[in-house]
A = this chain, B = another copy of it.
């Protein structure tokens, strides 16, 4: 069975949307990536850090999904990373209300021995130095390294981000971040410029407007599924990335053709994530539902025109 190594936050989130609000619930990029990737046939491990305020039931939830948490450090007397945010009415933008780094401030990732030869590495959104440290620990070159990042690191740690970008295969960022990173408004030009910074594959996430996968002169587009209601967008991007990395890890195929399938799976899984608050929908999601929705994705975009 192939191995997927995930680094990313495991956290508490408090979320407010026009549909309601939550207390502190399970959150974090690593959590969403791990839950999403657990729908594939693979061995996965999360490298992360929490405080001893982190409930055992959340740890059990991860291990029940066959996620190795031996690289999830639990700091005695420490507090878990906490984020609180409030979404605006259109759900496309949000205000961050609280960011308490807590144990994340001094996070020093340690890759479990038996994942130092992982086939695929998914570097969730974290300080680029943490992402680089994980790559430093690999004893065997992974078949694919995927990196997710955000504007915050472009503002505060650009040299470190540019350095780790030279060591990865795929970058996933959103449209605004792609524009910021490249200085280009056109996403086609932005992707071309980001290619020159290292990643052979550039995935640009456009939220409800889908995602684009660029590779040299080729481009593929995966739509987001049009939904009656988006309940809570938290974790959608991480769920997308987890689906992408999980599908690649399972299939052992890093071709562009196969990456098309991977971003369709990413979109598929993300379309469930937003249907409930936090991780709720991902926790209860069944594999048959994912396969059923794949048919909807087919119907949504597949056409058959004779070239005349």
Question: Are A210's CB and B223's CB within 8 A?
Answer: yes
Which residue from chain B places its CB closest to the CB of A218 in the assembled complex? B299
Out of B90, B220, B303, name the residue touching A261 (CB < 8 Å). Answer: B303
Question: Are B260's CB and A186's CB within 8 A?
Answer: no
Which B residues are in CB contact (< 8 Å) with A260? 303
Out of B185, B209, B220, B303, name the residue touching A206 (CB < 8 Å). Answer: B209
A308 at the interface (CB under 8 A from B): yes
Pick out which of these stretches binds chain B: A49-57, A78-86, A224-232.
A224-232
CA distance A230 to B187 in the complex (A): 11
CA distance A31 to B201 in the complex (A): 41
A101 at the interface (CB under 8 A from B): no
Question: Are A300's CB and B221's CB within 8 A?
Answer: yes
Cβ of A246 to closest chain B Cβ, rounded Å: 13
Task: Tell me the number of copies of this protein.
Answer: 2
CA distance A161 to B185 in the complex (A): 37
Which B residues are in CB contact (< 8 Å) with A210? 209-210, 223
Contact residues, A265-308 vs B (CB, 8 A)? 265, 291, 294-295, 298-305, 307-308
Cβ of A287 to closest chain B Cβ, rounded Å: 9
A254 at the interface (CB under 8 A from B): no
A33 at the interface (CB under 8 A from B): no
When A221-B223, A226-B188, A226-B219 are in contact, do A301 and B301 touch as well, CB less than 8 Å?
yes
A236 at the interface (CB under 8 A from B): no
Question: Are A301's CB and B220's CB within 8 A?
Answer: yes
When A220-B300, A307-B295 are in contact, do A228 and B188 touch as well, CB less than 8 Å?
yes
When A226-B188, A227-B186 are in contact, do A291 and B303 touch as well, CB less than 8 Å?
no
CA distance A233 to B235 in the complex (A): 34
A264 at the interface (CB under 8 A from B): yes
When A299-B218, A308-B291 are in contact, do A227 and B188 touch as well, CB less than 8 Å?
yes
Which B residues are in CB contact (< 8 Å) with A226? 187-188, 212, 219, 221
A189 at the interface (CB under 8 A from B): yes
CA distance A166 to B209 in the complex (A): 30
Which B residues are in CB contact (< 8 Å) with A298? 305
Question: Are B228's CB and A186's CB within 8 A?
Answer: yes
Question: Are B264's CB and A303's CB within 8 A?
Answer: yes
CA distance A185 to B19 in the complex (A): 13
Question: Are A221's CB and B301's CB within 8 A?
Answer: yes
Which B residues are in CB contact (< 8 Å) with A219? 226, 299-300
Which B residues are in CB contact (< 8 Å) with A257? 304
Query: Nearest 3 A-B pairs (CB), nearest first?
Result: A209-B209, A301-B301, A261-B305
7 contacts between A and B (CB under 8 A): A89-B185, A219-B300, A220-B299, A221-B301, A261-B303, A261-B305, A291-B308
- Add 19 more A-B contacts to A219-B299, A223-B301, A257-B304 (CB < 8 A): A89-B185, A90-B185, A186-B227, A186-B229, A186-B230, A187-B226, A188-B226, A188-B227, A188-B228, A210-B210, A218-B299, A220-B299, A221-B223, A221-B226, A221-B300, A223-B223, A291-B307, A294-B307, A301-B302
